[in-house]
Structure 1
Amino acid sequence: MSTPGDSIPTETAPYAELTCRDVKANPYHFPERHLFRGATYNGVPVLNLPVSADPVTHIKRIRKLSMRDDDVIIVAFPKCGTHWVSEMLHMLESGSTDYATQPKEFAMVEFTDDLTQLDQMASPRLLNSHLYIAHLPEQVLEKKVKLIHLIRNPKDCAVSLYYHMKQHSPELFNFDNFVRGYTTEGYTTMSHQPNYLRQMAEFEKDNPDHPIFHIHYEDLKKDPVSILQELARFVGVEASQKLCHDIASACGFNRLKQADTRRDLPEHLSKRFTNGFNIYRKGVVGDWKNTFTVAQSEMFDQFMARQEAKGLHYNFRWQ
């Protein structure tokens, strides 16, 4: 996390001086790639990234990426609607309802094995990332790159993340184990949504003039046309009400899910997930009620109460 007066922390010790402890005991049976292995960079846990370089080296390269004045980056904790908003942005920028020819993983900075590919993208670049601010390019701050920040009801987010992980997980990994591991500090490499939101709020506090547009998943489900109109103004494109209506329709869950089946992942990701990887499940609001037991919900509420006591800074659309 950043410290007061230092919104994007300075570089810490090089990777050679960072000692990654062995994978600790895994009582909740999480997929190993989601376990925290002890490596941090700029005070933030390093994700176990699906790239050829070791993760810290890859983060160091990302930090040095050159940014453009008209870049836009979607920043979000996983399962908050990144695919959805990425497609909407593409359509706003193109002024049409034609789907992007490639899925958003091609523009996801931490999943890009060869970062020079990002330099070859035409402007304006629509990038996306689940990385903490401390791991994004340094020039994000220097050039005041526009950030689109997505927020989702924590219980719906957790359920969606569980089913995402479940696709490639040990047999004993169930939802009860997920809730226990997710609410245990330092257990998973991505930590949890409240920690992500807390660092974003800290960045905003330290940089009040940085252009950030917040989108609540639930608001986008309820009134996508209004959000699209605001989003168009934020990124500086013309968008008629009809175009926004058409985009909202084209980006309905089932239509977007179908469009994504016709697009291939980058080769290095396809090799990693040989059995495929389904990004879409339900895309509805309030589905957590169909998954959490009363006991699990109470456990999660206690977890959220602890997080709120630390300060979360963002209101949720609880449903």
Structure 2
Amino acid sequence: MADFQTWEYKGYTFHKQVKKEALEYIENMEVFDDDIWLCTYPKSGTHWTLQILYLLQVDGDYEKMLEQGLGAKRLPPLELCIDKPDGSISYSYKKYEQLESPRLIGTHLPYDFLPRQVFEKMTKIIYVARNPKDTAVSMYHFFKPTMKKMMNVDVDWNQFFQIFMSKKSPFGTWTQNVLPFWKRRNDENILFLKFEDMKKDSLESIRKIAAFTGRSTSTEVLQNIVTNSSPEKTKKTMVVSDDADIQALSPGAFVRKGIIGDWKTHFTVAQSEQLDEVLQNDLKGTDLEMMFQ
């Protein structure tokens, strides 16, 4: 099985680019009252949702978003630590601390690893969940070129599927990340969204995000945001990011197809049934249902 160089901490699996000192610092970091925390399992619509949030700041005007440098403010996830060739480490949390308020903070951290002040101040959290089959395929296409470039290791889909299904997945299991947020979906400071619902009715989903973040606006503006947060426009925005770590982090696509059901081009019948069985067990009694096509 391919080695994703993971480590264990407090019952969770983390990628080697998440370090203990960063997790300990984040636990006690200062949180601002007007922060918006975007929490996701990797490859679940993170950058699409960021695009929507940035566009809401400029009434859906894509060119204005670029002119104001909002797209260029995109940073790697809060917890990420990039090892530099000179032996130094670039800590993403330090970059977020330098952002002016109001801050958009993106993270793949499990619920229990968020800063204490998030819970004390009831900071606004948007959580986006994507069905695990499409998530797995998107993660595969992101990590495959990364491992080839950084470790000269070729990973095929069958190898990656085994890792995704195991406790050695580089960001923990899908249910470990999703379920704690789902259980708190009715908290007033949490907006729980499903990627598939966002695709099926983008206008209504963006309306919910606007209302939650205090940026309720006209249907015309919301429709402009639907248009300007397309996968093509979001990919274009990612290109202009001025963060060196975003540019060098991975040759894999941060934004790929952005569709529902691409898992059917990769999963075998046996693999699909295996994941279905795991989900049936893990989601029993939770009322969480995901759309797969």
**TM-score bin (small chain):** 0.7 to 0.9
Distance in structure 2 (CA, Å) of the matches to 1:249 and 1:271: 28
Which residues of 2 match residues 100-179 of structure 1 at below 5 A?
Answer: 100-102=70-72, 104-105=74-75, 108-111=77-80, 113=91, 115-169=93-147, 171-179=153-161
Distance in structure 1 (CA, Å) of the matches to 2:245 and 2:234: 23
**Displacement of 1:160 after TM fit?**
0.7
The Cα offsets for residues 7-32 of structure 1, whole Å up to 9 and x where unpaired, read as xxxxxxxxxxxxxxxxxxxxx214x3
SS at match of 1:256: helix
Change (3 A) 1:168 1:280: same
Amino acid at match of 1:141: F
Aligned partners of 2:60 and 2:222 also within 8 Å: no
- Are 2:74 and 1:92 equivalent residues in the alignment? no
SS at match of 1:102: helix
The Cα offsets for residues 261-295 of structure 1, whole Å up to 9 and x where unpaired, read as 2324x33454554xx34212211111111111222
User: Which residue, out of 158, 161, 177, partners 1:196?
Assistant: 177
**Displacement of 1:312 after TM fit?**
4.5
**Displacement of 1:127 after TM fit?**
1.0
- Are 2:283 and 1:305 equivalent residues in the alignment? no
Aligned partners of 1:197 and 1:312 also within 8 Å: no
The Cα offsets for residues 151-195 of structure 1, whole Å up to 9 and x where unpaired, read as 1122111111111111122544211112222212x2223122112
- Are 2:16 and 1:48 equivalent residues in the alignment? yes
The Cα offsets for residues 107-137 of structure 1, whole Å up to 9 and x where unpaired, read as x321371634323322221111100112111
Amino acid at match of 1:190: F
What residue in structure 2 maps to residue 57 of structure 1?
Answer: 21
- Bigger relative contact order (CA 8 A; separation at least 6): 2
Distance in structure 2 (CA, Å) of the matches to 1:83 and 1:167: 19
Distance in structure 1 (CA, Å) of the matches to 2:154 and 2:60: 45
Aligned partners of 1:80 and 1:150 also within 8 Å: yes
Aligned partners of 1:179 and 1:300 also within 8 Å: no
Distance in structure 2 (CA, Å) of the matches to 1:215 and 1:209: 13
Change (3 A) 1:268 1:172: closer
Aligned partners of 1:78 and 1:130 also within 8 Å: yes
What residue in structure 1 maps to residue 84 of structure 2?
Answer: none
Aligned partners of 1:45 and 1:189 also within 8 Å: yes
What residue in structure 2 maps to residue 267 of structure 1?
Answer: 244
Aligned residues: 274
Amino acid at match of 1:267: A
What residue in structure 1 maps to residue 232 of structure 2?
Answer: 254
Identical counterparts, % of pairs: 26
Distance in structure 2 (CA, Å) of the matches to 1:297 and 1:317: 14
Segments of 5+ residues of structure 1 without an aligned counterpart are 1-27
Segments of 5+ residues of structure 2 without an aligned counterpart are 81-89
SS at match of 2:283: helix
The Cα offsets for residues 231-269 of structure 1, whole Å up to 9 and x where unpaired, read as 1111111321111101110111112212222324x3345
SS at match of 1:245: helix
SS at match of 2:254: coil
Amino acid at match of 1:188: S
Amino acid at match of 2:157: F
Which residues of 2 match residues 270-285 of structure 1 at below 5 A?
Answer: 270=247, 273=250, 276-285=251-260
The Cα offsets for residues 215-238 of structure 1, whole Å up to 9 and x where unpaired, read as 111111121111111111111113
Amino acid at match of 2:281: R
